[in-house]
Structure 1
Amino acid sequence: MTMPSAARSSQSASSSDLELLTIYEVSKILGSLLDLEQTLREVLRALSYQLQMQRGRVYLQGDDNTLRLVAAHGLSKEALAQDIDVREGEGISGRILKTGMPVVVPNLADEPLFLNRSGGRDDLDEQVASLVGVPIKAAGAVVGVLTIDRISDEGPNGHFGADVRFLTMVANLIGQTVRLHRTVAEERRFMMRETFRVQKELRPVAIPVNDVVCTSSNMVDVLSQVHRVAPFKSTVLIRGESGTGKELIARAIHNMSPRKDAPFIRVNCAALPESLLESELFGHEKGSFTGAQKDHKGRFELASGGTLFLDEIGDISSNFQAKLLRVLQEQEFERVGGSKTIKTDVRLICATNLNLEEAVGHGKFRADLYFRINVVTIHLPPLRERRGDIALLAKHFVAKFGKDNGLNLDIDSEALEVLNRCTWPGNVRELENCIERAATQCRDGKIRLPDLSCSMNLCNSSVLFQYRTMGAAVGGLAPTTSAAPTNPNITRAPQ
């Protein structure tokens, strides 16, 4: 008997209203709860009310590419207590994970892929149970699986197209929520790591200028400038290529200043995501954004009375430059999500390996911020311009490695001569790494020429130097104008 068209239309309208109501309820749940697993359980409960679903499951993909059951409805306490993991391609859920496509099983009793690990369908011979499973996707990638099963009124010959379409909409909403929760969790872990690092930095570490290893005249001039500027609150801009020791000089200024007993707080502006930079520098109030579960002091507050070191300041966005400029001009700020104005008392030291004048000319760095931070400028020379320090630094790093590892270590004169002829595009940091590699290779407590990377044709800096001589900066390496030697990382020995 064929259903009258008016009746079919009425049933279709009723079904559409029910789906719309369910989507509304699901979206409310996803937007109101912070605990992801609790949120997913509430979603399944809503589906059970609206769709007469008997059982539902949500699996999420873990780091090992397996599915883990994180939420369920209609299962026994014993089943929920189990650790249920499904490998890619295993069973119905594993197939959905692998293919990214929905699966419909009209009769679970006839489906060989149905694993029934949760023991939720031991009565399959008595009732015709159907299952619909859809992938949960976020940013185009499968991150989990949503499955529901229920007793089918129409038996195995029922029509499931509407169920698939509806569950796909629900799964898409779940996918967006999963992605948001994971992003917030990752940012929270990042903030915890940074907080731990800052807490370590709050414990003063003495780095007097006397510990800066040098004899070359240009570095002696730098240290003289450090002595002169340290007693004042003036903003300092430290400039130089990557690896030249900008943070070491910043700490030396702090430790020679009247603020030496107060915190020295370092912020790597290039390492912080822009979405976190404002919160990290200025702090935030509880509830100001998803995941802000308590008040958080920013770096300006943590550095109060001490020194704030903004490393790689040339990498901050134009939008954030304006916010930072306001704080530097007015010496006050508000936390993210807060209205209380907080006064700041910090000595600001900035560092960059970029050409800020060029950035200002191209509109990438604000001129007013440039003049605000460019009060006292200290230029650190690259290692290739302080060759008298190379052997001294090499011996210093040999002694440091020996002390750290309980070894009596030395380096012979031939190895020192070769090191002294290198161009060192990575500067002091590269020299330290070179010594550490060689120290792990030497066999009798003395680093010799065969232990050096360049003698084993493993020195990567020579490749970087080739790029540098083409006039293009590589990372923080400033371009040079001189022609490259025949062997790119070794200069000609003095005649």
Structure 2
Amino acid sequence: MIEPIKKLSYDELFCLHTINTLIIQNDDINVTLKKILNLLSEIAGLKRGIISVYYKELEEIHHEILGFDDSEDEVKFSPGEGITGEVVRTGKPIAIPRLNQSPIFLDKTGIRRNLNREELAFICVPIQYCNATIGALSVDREVLSSENGDLSHEIFYLSNIANLISESVNRKILVSENINLKSLLNIPGKISTIIGNSRPMRELAHQISLIANSNVSVLITGETGTGKEMVAKEIHKLSHRSDKPFITINCGAIPEGLIESELFGHKKGSFTGAITDRIGKFQAADGGTIFLDEIGELPQILQVKLLRALQEREITKVGDNQNIKVDVRVIAATNRNLEEELAKGTFRSDLYYRLNVFQLFLPPLRERGADILLLSDFFIRKYSSQMEKVITRLDTSAIDMLTIYHWPGNVRELENCIERACLLTQDGVISAHNLPPSLQMKSVENRGKKRGKFESLVRAYEIELITDALKDAQGNQTAAADYLGTTKRVIQYKISQYSIDYKRFSNTGKK
């Protein structure tokens, strides 16, 4: 519920308008949020403002943006700790009419040590984005002894401000996590091909470190495109078999009549076309690792022979009766639910349990949060190098599109999107229009959800286009109009309409 406009003072309305303008026109998130806290203090009398950010993966709340300077460093909370922690945990605002009456107020910043808490009210409201609490906005307000302690107006007003800044705070979380994730790529000893720091990926990396140097069979499950082969390669690389072969075979890509020969080899003349002796994948992988991709596609008659190879550590070539000992670690992968296949009788239970000594699950990309941006940066570096292009960043519109999309094709689809964008961009920046049209499609569960009024969306898009053009034109309105294929008069009208400060771009070059 939004506070009716008739109940807001002129100063409060002016403050809301100014905050909205700051959010639209400024690129630096930290500077913008700091200015907003200063505005609350100077215009609305809401002092010592703090924007606290909830890092869900760490289960920590950090005081990120402060409306004052003299505070303790590295202030952190756990969800439920103190007033701020409780607001984040419950997603509900808390107001304390007089701070001296609140035993749970912690004042971790230490800025109120020399203040009379009897004359201070404290208001803290949740910052929510897409129905999830991502932080909290808190302020102090001086109170008179005659006041009755009703802070409902301040709660509603501060909640409106929290709604305005929620997208900026969410973007700050993504940027902060992305910076931290990038640093992991340069730490010696880290798993190098598993890119990500979301909780599921950290758990996966820990599990890989536990099993890599053993000989146990591993079954990797997950949707298509999640990177099952990359995980198998990482296990091999970290094992004592790393200097031996890593052999891959896709059980679903080879005709049923040839799969046995591919796995175990054949003798000359054993079937039409067998003109020479040939070793199979198991023998080629001797001493190393064999990766059986799409194991759920393996015909039942071959399942029996694979089971024997796993149990006896020996194989028999097609057309031969001599057993060959092999020392091979087996890693299998599937995007099927093999337990359902067991129930239907299409996959042997004894083979399943032999393969499934240790199971690794790869989460879909849509559940990996900020990993999307880290992977995007990785692919940008990869393809900009291959194409010999200088590509510096993703712009805001591209970041929003990448993080909102549901990624049915997972990491493979993301890589294809970034490769395409690297090919199309001409200015070293990947924008939304460089990404495939498919990214503009919503997932089934998100269809029909409101995204805002049409006028607001058009306004935001026009501001983005004009701002980007002014950046490229270094503030020159005539040149910006040429970039956009319109007239200077239209640009001047829009600049005035949206209060865009074109002069601040006069000393900037192309980014």
Q: TM-score under structure 2 normalisation?
A: 0.49
1:15-94 → structure 2 map (5 Å cutoff): none
Counterpart selection for 2:412 from 416, 420, 429: 429
Unpaired runs of at least 5, structure 1: 1-206, 467-483, 491-495
Cα contact 1:425–1:461 (8 A) shared by 2? no
Task: Evaluate the alpha carbon distance shift between residue 321 and residue 372 of structure 1 in structure 2; reply closer, same or farther with a 3 A threshold.
Answer: same
Residue of structure 2 equivalent to 1:177? none
**Residue 321 (structure 1) aligns with:** 303
* AA matched with 1:329: Q
Q: Is the 8 A contact 2:365 2:411 kept in 1?
A: yes
Instruction: Give the whole-Å Cα distance in 1 for the aligned partners of 2:425 and 2:348.
Output: 50
* SS class of match (1:238): strand
The alignment partner of 1:211 has SS state of: coil
Task: List structure 1 runs of 4+ shifted beyond 4 angstroms.
Answer: 458-462
> Does 2:316 correspond to 1:355?
no
Cα distance in 1 for partners of 2:400, 2:377 equals 12
Check the 8 A contact 2:405/2:439 in 1, yes or no. no
- Specify the code of the residue in structure 2 equivalent to 1:383: L
Q: CA deviation at 1:225?
A: 0.4
Distance in 2 separating the partners of 1:209 and 1:240? 20
Which secondary structure state, in structure 1, belongs to the residue aligned with residue 330 of structure 2? strand
| Inter-partner Cα distance in structure 2 for 1:444 and 1:356 | 48
Q: 2:448 & 2:336 partners in 1: Cα distance?
A: 27
Aligned to 1:271: 253
- Counterpart code for 1:413: T
Deviation at 1:243, TM superposition (A): 0.7
What is the aligned partner in structure 1 of residue 382 from structure 2?
400
- In the alignment, which residue of structure 2 is the partner of 1:187? none
Q: Secondary structure of the equivalent of 2:270?
A: coil
1:353-387 CA-to-partner distances (Å, cap 9, x unmatched) read 00000000011111111111000001111101101
Deviation per CA, 1:80-126: give whole Å up to 9, x if none: xxxxxxxxxxxxxxxxxxxxxxxxxxxxxxxxxxxxxxxxxxxxxxx
Name 1:440's counterpart in structure 2: 423
Distance 2:279 2:190 in 1: 29
**CA deviations over 1:66-88 (Å, ceiling 9, x no partner):** xxxxxxxxxxxxxxxxxxxxxxx
Residue matched to 1:220 = 202
Name the counterpart of 2:282.
Answer: 300
Tell me how far 1:208 sits from its aligned partner: 7.2
Equivalences for residues 43-442 of structure 1 within 5 A: 209-409=191-391, 410-442=393-425
* TM-superposed deviation, 1:285: 0.5
Shift of the 461–282 alpha-carbon distance from structure 1 to 2, 3 Å rule, reads: farther
The match for 1:451 is 434
One-letter amino acid of the counterpart of residue 424, structure 1: W
AA at the equivalent of 1:485? N
Q: Secondary structure at the match of 1:364?
A: coil
1:408-457, Cα deviation, whole Å (9 max, x unpaired): 11322321121011110110111111111222222212111121223xxx
Offset at residue 210 of structure 1 (A): 2.4
Structure 2: distance between partners of 1:228 and 1:404: 35
Describe the SS at the equivalent of 1:237.
Answer: strand
* Separation of aligned partners in 2, 1:339 and 1:317: 22
Kept in 2: contact 1:208–1:256 (CA 8 A): no
Give the Cα–Cα distance (whole angstroms) in 1 for the partners of residues 400 and 339 of structure 2. 38
What SS class does the counterpart of residue 387 from structure 1 fall into? coil
Task: Provide closer, same or farther for how the CA distance between residues 415 and 369 of structure 1 changes in structure 2, counting only shifts above 3 A.
Answer: same
The letter for the 1-side match of 2:404 is R
For the aligned residue pairs, the C-alpha RMSD in angstroms reads 2.0
Quick check: which has more Rg, 1 or 2? 1
CA distance in 2, matches of 1:217, 1:241: 18
Distance 1:402 1:431 in 2: 15
Q: For residue 212 of structure 1, report the CA deviation from its aligned partner.
A: 1.9
Q: In structure 2, what is the Cα distance between the partners aligned to 1:279 and 1:460?
A: 45
Residue matched to 1:103 = none
Q: 2:440 and 2:266 mapped to 1: Cα distance?
A: 43
More displaced stretch, 291-300 vs 405-414: 405-414
User: CA 1:461–1:235 in structure 2 vs 1: closer, same or farther (change >3 Å)?
Assistant: farther
Structure 2 residue runs without a partner (length 5+): 1-188, 452-511
Rounded to whole Å, the distance in 1 between the matches of 2:316 and 2:404 is 52
* TM-score when normalising by structure 1: 0.51
Q: In 2 relative to 1, CA 487–314 (structure 1 residues): closer, same or farther, beyond 3 Å?
A: farther
- Where 1:378 maps in the other structure, the secondary structure is strand
Q: Greater CA deviation, 429-438 or 407-416?
A: 407-416
> Quick one: distance in 2 between partners of 1:460 and 1:337?
55
1:239: Cα distance to partner? 0.6
Aligned residues: 262
Q: Tell me which residue corresponds to 1:485.
A: 446
Cα-to-partner distance string for 1:18-65 (whole Å, 9 max, x where unaligned)? xxxxxxxxxxxxxxxxxxxxxxxxxxxxxxxxxxxxxxxxxxxxxxxx
Kindly indicate whether the alpha-carbon contact (under 8 Å) linking 2:405 and 2:440 is maintained by their aligned counterparts in 1: no
Distance change (3 Å), C-alpha of 1:320 and 1:460: farther
SS at match of 2:249: strand
